[in-house]
Every structure is written in structure tokens, then in C-alpha cells.
Structure 1
Amino acid sequence: MEESTADLIRAQLRRLRTGAGLSQEEFGKLVHYSASMVSAVETGVRPLDRPFLSRADEVLNSGGLLVSLFKMMERERQPSWFRSWLDAEAAARQLRCFHPTLVPALLQTENYARAVIRCDDMLSDEEVEKRLASRMDRQAVLAQPEPPQLIALFDEVALHRRNESFRGLMTRQVEHLLACAERPNVSIHVIPLSVGLHVGLSGPFTLARSDDGGWVGTMESQLGGGVIDSEARLATLLARWETVRNEALPRQQSLDLLKEVVMSWT
């Protein structure tokens, strides 16, 4: 599947370029790449990459076609369980996200997300950027015309995991959280350090409710993740959600805490 999508992207690139009456050399000058680079991309000698295709979309006035196809190709690389979760996430009317140690993915800034992904030292720089782009793409669900309600919970410890080099990144991340919380469909709640131990420390999870009221969940671990769709396991996750939600501060108090944290850093 990935190969056929890659071939489709290259074919569309050639069609758009020739349709615009541009040689590889002329096109290369416009996108700031050499003619040999353009040829290598079109023939499959060089892998496709998002920056090149994004610039090509701009030059060829293609309405984002090439980048959209590239996103499709990247999605096809994902494990089957994660593709089914992406479908559920994109169609959800409500999302409940909980993480005991990190800011939930849908609310991460680009720099924060990159730092989190880079914690896996087995990933190449290229793979880090691919995963980062995928994560940022997912956040578009919150900007669609009828976005889902997002209720995000995380432990206060996530705000204190920093050092001097990380302080600026975290300041911008918390400012981003405060900006996101201004949206009517986003509610952010923090579990304060004073709570101590709680059941949520067992691990992160997310729940998505569809238009028909049905639920699906996902959990991740060191070795991957999976979609939760059995009635019994969903009932357990929904009960866990209620437990951790009850430990969290109300919305306004959570936002006040975020502001206090930023003030203490500056």
C-alpha cells in the first residue's frame, strides 16, 4: 500500500510539473532544489519528504494535494491498531485524555513533542521528525469546524519535569495550554502533587466517544499500544477516568495553578 501511494505522489508531482510547463531544472529553481534532486524524487531514487512536497504544493498551486497524499502514506506506515485509533479520534465527539507524567499529545507544542519523542534514543533524527509531523497532524482534529470536546487530565508532576535548558520550552508549553483552554471545547484539569498516590499512576489512556454514544479507548506502553473496544475493559477505563477526574482540580483552579507555575519560573 505504501509503495502504491508513494508512486501516486511521484506521478502527481510529474503531472503537475509538466502541466505547469516546467522542466525539472526550472521547477528546481522555484522550489530551491537542484534539477538532479527533482529527478531523484520523481524516479524514486530519493525518498519523499514533507518539506519538498510542501514547497512543491506552493509552487504548483495544487491546493495541498501532495502533502495530503504524503500524510496518507505516513498513516499507512502506522501499526494497524493505531490506524483504527486515528479513525476513532478523528470522528470523536468527545475525547478524554489522561497522562500521569506528560502533557497529553493533542495539547503538546511542537518543541515539547519533539523533546518527548527524542527520549527514545533508538530513533533516528529522520524518524523523530516523521513521528513529530504525525503528532502535529493529529491536533488538526481540534481545529475542524465542529471539533470534539476535549477533556485533558495530567498530573502536576508533568509541570516540574524540567531543568534549566528545558525551562523556556516548558514555559511556552504551559502558555500554549492556557491558550488552548480558552477554546470553548477544551477543558484542562491538573491533579495536584498534594494528592499523592492515585490509580492513574498505572499509566496513560484515552477514551473517544462517537456520535452514537459508543466508546473506544487506547492505552500505550513501552512496547506499543492497542485499542480497547470490549465492553468489560471499556467499563474499567471509564471507571478509572472517573476516579482520576475526581482527584483533579476544577477547571479554573487548574488554570490558576498553570499560571502560578509559569510565574515561579519567570
Structure 2
Amino acid sequence: MEERERAAEGEAVSDAGAGALPDAEFGVALLHVFGQQLKLCRVRAGMDRARFGSLTGYSASTIASFEQGRRIPPPKFIDRADEVLDAGGVLKAGKEVVAQAQYPAFFRSAARLEAEAVELCVYDTYIVNGLLQTEEYTRAVLSMRRPLLDQDTIEQRAAARVARQEIFNRWPAPLLSFVMEETVVKRRLGGRAVQRGQLEQILLIGQKRNVEIQIMPLDREDNAGVDGPFTLLTRQGGDQFGYMEAQGKSTLVTDRNEVRALAARYGIIRAQALTPRESLAYIEKLLEEL
């Protein structure tokens, strides 16, 4: 069995472990366990939350949120906390647990690949991709889910999407390409103010040297994306994977021929869309009209 297939199998097995609890409860439980470990280490070190927070750059209330599993601790905080509390690597070892907890089960395999990607190509047809979303847009979208998500789950997933956006700060910088249908940026999910903030964020990210954002106009008579949204992820060394998601279910594509077909399709979609320069000009025009 090839390494890429073994990796995919391992990810699937890991995700299957979430089945013992409903997905939202599984994530909350993992964060709660880590929070208790953090609190025990802090108490053992003889520090109150205010002192600990001052040494790690967070308020006492934020520390309480970390310890109670209501907020996701960022990796840099975990590293610093391990040093400040002299935890001997115990907290650092929990970073993978936290990384698992912050995503719904169906997305965890893709999240691992995304974190390692040197190139990412995304085609979206209905909503703005999570990597480009503002917190306000994310909360609006998650609040529309049916059945309803509880507020803790909404906050947890919103924080997770913000954490994923660290990909824009990585170095060496990965190559990132986003193509989205025109309806994606015109849809007023969350209201006018949320749409404005989202368009401004797309415009800002689109100006990064390693990012290309393109709009597929509604008046195109040819569109190779009629089969729906998908993502292509390329790891160091050239291994490429496809990812598709719908209705809370996902498919991780590892077969080389299927991935090659997705890559060819994406190339055609990019050629049919507006150029990156034209697309940013279009976003600016939409902002002026709001």
C-alpha cells in the first residue's frame, strides 16, 4: 500500500474514534480534558489566573475560558504555558488533541492536509471559503445551520476557522488559489454590514503575493464547475489530494487518476473565470454599491 493511502487510512481511523460521542460533544469533551490538565499544571505551579495570564499574554478571563474548555487555546499559548508552568512537555503533547477538537469530525482529515499544504486550490459555489471568512460571516453562517448548533459549538467552530487562517502567515508561503461563483460574493448572508466586512476581507487577502482570488461570472456560457465545489491540496514532495464536502459529509480523494481529473478541471475553471486583477476590481465595485 502506498504511503499516501496509508496516511489517508490512518486519518479515517482517527476520525472514526469520534463516533462514541456525538461530534459536537466529542470536541467539547477533548477541550474540557485539556483545560483540566492546564488548570492542574497551573495550580501545581502555585499561580493564580491573573499571574499566569500576565506571563502568557492573556487576561485572567481568557485563561478561565481555556481551562473550562469554552475557548480553543492557540498553539503558541500552549507552548508558552508549558514553559511557564514547567509542565515538562505535557501541555505541548496536548496540541494535537486541541487541533482534533476544534474541527467537526468530517473535516479533520482535510484540516491535517491543509496544515501541511504547499499549494491549495479551492472552488466554491455557495458560501465564502472558511479560509477567507470573517468571524462575523462565520457566526452568521453557522447560526443558519439546521438542526441548530448550540452557541458553544458556534464559538468553537468560529475560533477554529480563524486559527486555520494562520496559513496566510506561514513561511515558506504556500501558493493559494480561490475561485468562487459570483453569487458567493453577492449573497448577503448575515446582512449588509456582514457582507461589507466579508468583501473587504476578500479584497485584503487577495492582495497577498501568494494568493490569487478569482470570480466566475454568472454570464459565462461555459463553466467546468457544474459538478460542484472541491479543494485540491498538495503536500511537500508533490502528493496531491482532493476534498469534497456536502451536507456534513466529506470525501477525501486519494486515487491519483481521480485527483488528476480534479486538477485538470480546476485548471479549466481558472481559465474560464475573471483574472485575479479583474476579480479584485469586481469586489471593489460591489463594495462601492453597498
Q: Which residue of 1 aligns with 2:60?
A: 31
Q: Which residue of 1 aligns with 2:167?
A: 141
Alignment TM-score, normalising by the size of structure 2: 0.73
Q: Which residue of 2 aligns with 1:179?
A: 204
Partner residue of 2:118 out of 72, 86, 93: 93
> Quick check: 1:98–1:204 contact (8 Å CA) kept in 2?
yes
Find the aligned partners of 1:231 and 1:64 in 2 and give their Cα distance: 46
Q: Which residue of 1 aligns with 2:144?
A: 119
Partner residue of 1:49 out of 70, 94, 108: 70
Which segments of 5 or more consecutive residues in structure 1 lack a partner in the other structure? none
Find the aligned partners of 2:282 and 2:139 in 1 and give their Cα distance: 25
1:159 aligns with 2:159: no
RMSD of aligned Cα (Å)? 3.6
- The one-character-per-residue Cα deviations of 1:148-188 (angstroms, maximum 9, x if unpaired) are 1110000111122127x611111111111111112111110
Q: Which residue of 1 aligns with 2:270?
A: 245
Which segments of 5 or more consecutive residues in structure 2 lack a partner in the other structure? 1-16, 18-25, 54-58, 86-90
Find the aligned partners of 1:212 and 1:26 in 2 and give their Cα distance: 45
Matches for 1:200-215 after TM superposition, within 5 Å: 200-215=225-240
Find the aligned partners of 1:119 and 1:104 in 2 and give their Cα distance: 16
- What is the CA-CA distance between 1:214 and the residue it aligns to? 1.8
Q: Which residue of 1 aligns with 2:22?
A: none
1:109 aligns with 2:130: no
Task: State the identity %.
Answer: 26
Find the aligned partners of 2:50 and 2:84 in 1 and give their Cα distance: 22
- The one-character-per-residue Cα deviations of 1:42-65 (angstroms, maximum 9, x if unpaired) are 7xxxx52217x68xx69x966799
- What is the CA-CA distance between 1:256 and the residue it aligns to? 0.7
Find the aligned partners of 1:4 and 1:158 in 2 and give their Cα distance: 34
Q: Please, which moves more after superposition, 256-265 or 1-10?
A: 1-10
Distance 1:198 1:63, change over 3 A: farther
Alignment TM-score, normalising by the size of structure 1: 0.79
> Quick check: 2:82–2:92 contact (8 Å CA) kept in 1?
no
Distance 1:230 1:171, change over 3 A: same
Find the aligned partners of 1:174 and 1:117 in 2 and give their Cα distance: 18
Find the aligned partners of 1:116 and 1:64 in 2 and give their Cα distance: 38
Distance 1:263 1:92, change over 3 A: same
> Quick check: 2:106–2:248 contact (8 Å CA) kept in 1?
no
Distance 1:205 1:10, change over 3 A: same
- The one-character-per-residue Cα deviations of 1:89-146 (angstroms, maximum 9, x if unpaired) are 1111110011012222111111111112222132122211122111111111221222
Distance 1:124 1:64, change over 3 A: farther
Find the aligned partners of 1:102 and 1:12 in 2 and give their Cα distance: 36
Which structure's CA Rg is the greater one? 1
Letter in 2 for 1:240: R
> Quick check: 2:31–2:69 contact (8 Å CA) kept in 1?
no
